[in-house]
Amino acid sequence: MNVVIQLQPLNQHKMAIFPETIMKGKRNPLLSDECLNLLNYRIQQEEQSSRMYLSMSLWLNNEGYTGAAKLWRKYSDEELSHADWARDYLLAMGVTPSTPNLSSEPNTYQGLPQIIQLSYDHEINVTKQIKELGDKAFKSGDHMLYTLVGEYLKEQREEHDKTQTWVDKLAAFGTDKIAMRWLDEEMGG
């Protein structure tokens, strides 16, 4: 016995409810190309920061600085959540975030003081990048994106506070073995 499947005709009325969205694709027109690219760059840079702090943590661990290693591992994990902020924003705008290439990081360092100094300098660079994103958001009148930039800047203030504290302690107590031992204890909490 032959079974005849009857196809239902398309409901033209329902198809026409959101014609503009269907024609233009999912991307929200409020997001400019320039800001989209900077948000993908933000993802890459936050992931790279995570990798940098991870490499520092691994070296510290292997050199006996177990307290500092634990703290830098925490910093590494936090950076991944900052990448998620940009991803979530892009998703809210109907854009699939990119999964960019990352560069390798050193697997050797001169010591904890150098790691503190590199981390301090790195956070200054990141804040400069976020200020650029803020400038672009402001100039293109993207106030919604500007609120995300505010979140990043608030986070950066905390990052500067942390790295400044470690730099201050190096200046106050020096970098000999005893000072390093105390600092490592303190960093491990």
Residue 98 contacts by C-beta under 8 Å, 6 or more apart in sequence? 40, 43, 44
User: Which residues in the 99-158 window bind Fe ion by CB under 5 A?
Assistant: none
Which class for 7: exposed (0-12), middle (13-18), buried (19 or more C-beta within 10 A)? exposed
* Between 79 and 184, CB nearer to Fe ion: 79
For the record, the structure tokens of 49 come out as 């920061």
Give every CB contact of residue 95 below 8 A, 6+ residues apart in sequence.
26, 27, 28, 31, 36
**Count of residues engaged in binding Fe ion, rule: CB under 5 A:** 4
Q: Name the one range near Fe ion by CB under 5 A: 38-46, 84-92, 171-179, 181-189.
A: 38-46
- Token pair 């005709």 is found at 9
CB of 34 to Fe ion, least distance (A): 21
Structure tokens at 18: 């959101």
Q: Which of 48, 159, 166, 184 binds Fe ion (CB under 5 A)?
A: 159
Nearer to Fe ion, 154 or 177 (CB): 154
What would the two tokens of residue 19 be?
């014609």
Does residue 47 belong to the site contacting Fe ion (CB under 5 A)? no
The CA distance from 146 to 85, in Å, is 13
Of all residues in the shown chain, the one whose CB is closest to Fe ion is 82
User: Stretches 29-37, 41-49, 113-121, 167-175: which one binds Fe ion (CB under 5 A)?
Assistant: 41-49
42 contacts Fe ion (rule: CB under 5 A): no
Contact positions with Fe ion (CB under 5 A) in 52-81 = 79
Binding site for Fe ion (CB under 5 A): 46, 79, 82, 159
